[in-house]
Chain A
Amino acid sequence: MKAPRGDEREKDGQGVAADIAAERGRVDAAAEFSRLADRYLDTAYRLASVILGDPTEAEDAAHDAAVLAWRRFDTLRDRDRFEQWFCRIVVNVCRDRLRHRRRHPIVELPSEDDERGGLAAPEGAGQLLARDALDRAFVRLDPDHQIVVALRFYRDLTVDDIARRLEIPAGTVKSRLHQAIARLRAELERQGWREEFPDEA
């Protein structure tokens, strides 16, 4: 068997060194990703739970977002922006799930009380019913509108921050917010609720 020449040995040595460096880089990246993902997992999970309204589904969404984020981790140049970047992925995953829900809606059957009608709400249950009405109205919103509302009123982000995170124009964020609130208001009124302003209270 022919012995490898000196330059081939050198080339092989370089190749092995490159492989080792690549593997070390991958291990380093994995460690850094695990650290960052663990650090911002709470934020991502809570945001997903607010948008989706279902802790179990939020878990799946956060996990899917982590898989996607790991796949694209090498495209993230500035690791200091991991939180915003990861949250954007979470939001996108949630949007996909909301759209999937709209395509496969769960139809609620009317309760016996609704069918009978005229049953007055018990004392102290008004707040609960109001939340229930909000829940129904929120679910009817477009997924893009739901996300903007969640970021605005749950995360208390400004319009510009939302625009930056979603990579859409600020005008679009304003328009979506405006439309979302108007639709929520209309839906609540349709359900028989009316808004109470501070001077009315």
Chain B
Amino acid sequence: MKPERKAPIGGRVEDELRTWLRGRDAGPAPDRLRFRVGRVTRVAEQTAPRRIWALLRPIAAVGGVVAVAVLVLLAATLRGPAGPLASGPIPTTSPSPTIPPGLPFPNGLWPRTGAVLAVPLDGPLLAVLTLVPLLLAVLLLAHLAKRSFSDAHRSVADDSDARRSVADDPPGAGLRRMRSRRSSVLRMLGVLLAAALIVVSWDLLQFTQIAPLQYGSGFGSDPTHTLGSRMSAGGGPEETYMAFVPGGQLRLTLTLANSGQLPLTVTSFDTQRFRVDQPAGAFVSSVEILLPAGATFSGWSPTDYHTEAFHPFELQPQSETEFALVLHLKVCGSVAPGPTPAPDAARNDPYLPTTGYVTIGELPFRYSVLGVEREIDVPLSEAIGLVFGSKAVTC
């Protein structure tokens, strides 16, 4: 039970404080303090250790804020609409729907809206994610170093204390006196944690990949419409020409490879972007992609083993798969069909078209890695040229 204290404090709190604080005044500095302070300039080095931190701290803070802001802005702005392909309106007459969705469309970063990153961001994003442990380790080590510097500076003050016989102390005795066993253990744990983070980051760095979905090694075209190939300076085919067949279809066997270190899922082919971006897109009414039904790629085969409708499929790291690309061509009134190769005629390589032609150099795919959906234009190892019967062509 508290004692009853009804006595007044003596006046206003401010006045009492003034009196009481003056009562705490210890008077002039004692001689021993003057002696200690007099030794300061002889014992302590005149340095300004905080200058580096004073410079680095705002730079690090601003850099961190800018990095976070850029990432947030990129994530907020660089996203495009997505969803099952061919669900939107096709601008011109399309004889058949393009790629059938097959399986439910997998969720991307924003499952509610179905939006995906419209630029290839997963490469840099992935690189940043793998570097996070390394950055944490660097920050941790920097913090430990800063604390050590701080301890060292304070230990100088301790060494210069006249109440200690520092002459007999071994080097670093002041520092050891200042550090408790607990702080030493914590420091040791901090170093171990930093080392572990560096090891983790080193392991994760192997997963850094910028554009893992690439074209594979195989290429095949329907010989009944293939006119020949233009050769590159190195000797290999650079562009393969196929005759344009109004209202018909052209069939190619192509391959996709995963050159990265993580499995990826090819989720869809972007027909609309293909029609807009590729010069040949204006002559294509729809694109169909067929997957092999359990077969393995062995070059072009007249027997069609690509019978499975497109569905999202997984590509393991450092592996490749083939697919059939079927181009359904438009009927354009002013465009004459391309020259038809004679049956059983040998390829006329190198071939140079003498009439008008348009090319397909890239195939726009969407795929996901670690749940991050992205778009990419996969450059073909050989461009595909559609050769017409006349020089000037519009559709």
Confirm or deny: B17 has a beta carbon within 8 angstroms of a beta carbon on chain A: yes
**Contact (Cβ within 8 A) B2 A117:** yes
A49: chain B residues within 8 A (beta carbon): 24-26
**Contact (Cβ within 8 A) B37 A63:** yes
Known: A46-B26, A130-B7. A195 touches B12 (CB 8 A): yes
The distance from the CB of A27 to the nearest CB of chain B, in whole angstroms, is: 9
Partner of B14, one of A45, A70, A120, A153: A153
Give B1-45 as 1s and 0s: 1 = Cβ < 8 Å from A's Cβ atoms. Answer: 111111111111110111011111111111011101110111011
Confirm or deny: A91 has a beta carbon within 8 angstroms of a beta carbon on chain B: no
Which residues of A102-129 have CB atoms within 8 Å of chain B's CB atoms?
113-114, 117-121, 126-127, 129
**Contact (Cβ within 8 A) B29 A45:** yes
**Contact (Cβ within 8 A) B18 A45:** no
A26: chain B residues within 8 A (beta carbon): 46
Give A187-198 as 1s and 0s: 1 = Cβ < 8 Å from B's Cβ atoms. Answer: 010011111111
Which residues of B355-391 have CB atoms within 8 Å of chain A's CB atoms?
none
Confirm or deny: A80 has a beta carbon within 8 angstroms of a beta carbon on chain B: no
A74: chain B residues within 8 A (beta carbon): 46, 48
A195 to B9, CA, bound (A): 6
A70: chain B residues within 8 A (beta carbon): 40-41, 44, 46
Confirm or deny: A185 has a beta carbon within 8 angstroms of a beta carbon on chain B: yes
Confirm or deny: B161 has a beta carbon within 8 angstroms of a beta carbon on chain A: yes
Nearest CB to that of A135 among chain B residues?
Answer: B20
**Contact (Cβ within 8 A) B11 A198:** yes
A145 to B352, CA, bound (A): 87
A194 to B5, CA, bound (A): 9
A191 to B33, CA, bound (A): 37
Confirm or deny: A73 has a beta carbon within 8 angstroms of a beta carbon on chain B: yes
A17: chain B residues within 8 A (beta carbon): none
Interface centre among B11, B49, B153 (most CB of A within 10 A): B11
**Contact (Cβ within 8 A) B9 A196:** yes
The distance from the CB of A115 to the nearest CB of chain B, in whole angstroms, is: 9
**Contact (Cβ within 8 A) B26 A55:** yes
**For the side of the interface on A, what is the size category?**
35 or more
How many residue pairs link A and B with beta carbons under 8 A? The number is 166
The distance from the CB of B136 to the nearest CB of chain A, in whole angstroms, is: 26
**Contact (Cβ within 8 A) A71 B49:** yes
Q: Is the interface of A mostly helix, strand, loop or mixed?
A: helix
Nearest CB to that of A188 among chain B residues?
Answer: B9
A149 to B44, CA, bound (A): 33
A130: chain B residues within 8 A (beta carbon): 7, 9-10, 16
Confirm or deny: A134 has a beta carbon within 8 angstroms of a beta carbon on chain B: yes
A138 to B17, CA, bound (A): 9
A73 to B41, CA, bound (A): 10
Which residues of B224-259 have CB atoms within 8 Å of chain A's CB atoms?
none
The distance from the CB of A39 to the nearest CB of chain B, in whole angstroms, is: 11
**Contact (Cβ within 8 A) A38 B157:** no
Partner of B17, one of A59, A129, A134: A134
Known: A38-B38, A53-B24, A196-B10. A62 touches B2 (CB 8 A): no
Partner of B29, one of A42, A50, A126: A42
Confirm or deny: A85 has a beta carbon within 8 angstroms of a beta carbon on chain B: no
**Contact (Cβ within 8 A) B46 A71:** yes
Known: A184-B13, A195-B13. A67 touches B40 (CB 8 A): yes
**Contact (Cβ within 8 A) B21 A150:** yes
Known: A130-B9, A184-B13. A34 touches B38 (CB 8 A): yes
Between A and B, 24 residue pairs with Cβ closer than 8 Å are A34-B40, A42-B29, A44-B29, A49-B25, A59-B33, A62-B29, A62-B33, A62-B37, A63-B33, A64-B157, A67-B156, A70-B44, A71-B46, A72-B48, A118-B3, A130-B9, A133-B9, A184-B17, A191-B5, A192-B6, A193-B7, A194-B9, A196-B11, A198-B12
3 nearest CB pairs, A to B: A196-B8, A49-B26, A117-B1
Which residues of B are at the interface with A, using a C-beta cutoff of 8 A? 1-14, 16-18, 20-30, 32-34, 36-38, 40-42, 44-49, 153-154, 156-157, 160-161
